[in-house]
Amino acid sequence: METILFEVQNAVAFITLNRPEKLNAFNREMALLLQQKLDECGASHEIRCVYITGSGKGFCAGQDLAEVADPTGIGMHGILKDQFNPIVTKIRKLEKPVVAAVNGVAAGAGANIALCCDIVVASSSASFIQAFSKIGLIPDSGGTFTLPRLIGWQKASALMMLGEKVNADEAERMGMIYKVFADDVFEEESKKIAVTLAGMPTRGLWYTKQALSWAFSHTWHEQLMNEDKLQQRAAGTADFKEGVQAFLEKRKANFKGE
């Protein structure tokens, strides 16, 4: 059975983590295959949005702990260096929006991979757990960077130390995720977001993603300069010309992602 399912439809790459009997916990094969698929998404002109979800009842339970316990395995440093750090870095550097559609429990690295995506939505039965503390680890996969920026230092600190489960509604209320959809409409509604993004000015969305990432490490003045630089790039795209033209002609814009 393939550990990652991959399908392109309506300019969206649908990626499904597929080890449902283990709540889609990452073994090495799945982590390397996800990286390969993210690279394919980056290289393809046809793909203008990426959608990541899990098969079965979970989203992802983080690292497969059976593999960690294996003495012939690659060890802690190897797992982060070869598996999780490249995954979250590829998501942040992907020049198109990435939607995490959290269909069930997201724990450990599984939670933090979801949280580094550009838009995170969840089904009402989903949950998020910074499970690391329960096995003596620290939050990784960018979690110590992402979570306090989403929900504030104090709440992040408590969730990371206590390892408490946060349900989807609570996650939405505290700003950890964008939106919750009822289970019966979750797939349809979350896919609608991805298809909408895929029809939008892709370069402009990439510059927005960059500007938001840079905002964390720049001053107000530097960020105004960054916005200026990125806005000039956005204004040089064919999609900007089409957007203005369509507005003036009172018609729907036909964006090409260029």
Tell me which residues touch ligand LHQ (CB under 6 A).
22-23, 25, 61-66, 68, 76, 79-80, 105, 107-109, 129, 131-132, 135, 137, 140
For residue 106, the minimal CB distance to ligand LHQ (Å) is 8
Instruction: Give whichever of 135 and 235 is closer to ligand LHQ, judged by the CB atom.
Output: 135
Burial class of residue 115 (count of CB atoms within 10 Å of its CB; 0-12, 13-18, 19+)? buried
Instruction: Give whichever of 25 and 194 is closer to ligand LHQ, judged by the CB atom.
Output: 25
Return the SS3 of 256: coil
For residue 136, the minimal CB distance to ligand LHQ (Å) is 10
Residue nearest to ligand LHQ (CB): 62
For residue 87, the minimal CB distance to ligand LHQ (Å) is 11
For residue 50, the minimal CB distance to ligand LHQ (Å) is 21
Q: CA 84 to CA 19: how far, in whole Å?
A: 17
Instruction: Give whichever of 61 and 197 is closer to ligand LHQ, judged by the CB atom.
Output: 61
CB 105 within 8 A of CB 126: yes
| Phi and psi angles of residue 46, each rounded to the nearest 5 degrees, phi first | -70, -35
Instruction: Give whichever of 100 and 197 is closer to ligand LHQ, judged by the CB atom.
Output: 100
Select from 219, 202, 123, 129 the least CA-distant residue to 169.
Answer: 123
Which secondary-structure segment (H or E) carries 60? strand 58-60
Return the SS3 of 119: strand
Which single residue is written with the structure tokens 């990286």? 35
For residue 7, the minimal CB distance to ligand LHQ (Å) is 25
Instruction: Give whichever of 108 and 201 is closer to ligand LHQ, judged by the CB atom.
Output: 108
